[in-house]
C-alpha cells in the first residue's frame, strides 16, 4: 500500500497572490526515508506560523520536521507563473532552486522562476 510519506502532498500553497513560504525536510526518526515539501500561505504573517502548523501534522504521521529556510512565492494562476524569491528572517533563505524543482512536479504547465531578490 505505498508509504505514508507518499500521502503527504509535496506542495500546499495558496492558489493566488504573494505570500511567505517555507521549505521543510521530513525525515523518519533514525534516518532512512526523507523528502522535502513546500508550504506557503497568505494566512501566515510570519514564516514560523507556517512551520507551527505543519510540524504537529507531520509528527502525527511519524516524521521529524526541519525547516530548511523560507522566502516568498508570487503565484499568478491566470498567467500560470510562479516566482520564488526573498528570504525568511528567522529561518534564513531556502534553496529556491530546490523549491522550484518541487513546484515543477505539481505545476507542470507553469513557468516557474526564482531569484535572490528581496521583492
Q: What is the pLDDT of residues 8-23, one digit of tens each?
A: 999 999 999 999 999 9
- Please check the confidence at residue 3 and state whether its pLDDT lies above 80: no
**The predicted structure's pLDDT at residue 20:** 98
Asked if residue 72 belongs to a known ligand binding site, the reply is no
Strands 34-41 and 17-27: antiparallel
Altogether, the residues listed in the chain come to a count of 119
Catalytic residues, by residue number, are 47
Q: What is the mean pLDDT of the chain?
A: 93
3: three-class secondary structure by DSSP: coil
Residue range 40-55, pLDDT digits in tens: 999 999 999 999 999 9
- Please check the confidence at residue 83 and state whether its pLDDT lies above 90: yes
Cell numbers standing for residue 79:
498567467
- List, in order, residues 6 or more apart from 77 with CB less than 8 Å away: 15, 16
Q: Please name each of the domains of the chain with its CATH number.
A: 11-115 (3.50.20.20)
- Please check the confidence at residue 30 and state whether its pLDDT lies above 60: yes
Amino acid at each position: 500500500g505505498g508509504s505514508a510519506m507518499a500521502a503527504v502532498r509535496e506542495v500546499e500553497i495558496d492558489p493566488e497572490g504573494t505570500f511567505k513560504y517555507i521549505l521543510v525536510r521530513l525525515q523518519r526518526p533514525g534516518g532512512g526515508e526523507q523528502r522535502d515539501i513546500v508550504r506557503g500561505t497568505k494566512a501566515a504573517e510570519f514564516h514560523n506560523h507556517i512551520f507551527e502548523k505543519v510540524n504537529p501534522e507531520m509528527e502525527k504521521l511519524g516524521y521529524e520536521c526541519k525547516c530548511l529556510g523560507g522566502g516568498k512565492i508570487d503565484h499568478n494562476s491566470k498567467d500560470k507563473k510562479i516566482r520564488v524569491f526573498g528570504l525568511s528572517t528567522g529561518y534564513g533563505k531556502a534553496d529556491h532552486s530546490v523549491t522550484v524543482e518541487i513546484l515543477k512536479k505539481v505545476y507542470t504547465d507553469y513557468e516557474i522562476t526564482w531569484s535572490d531578490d528581496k521583492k
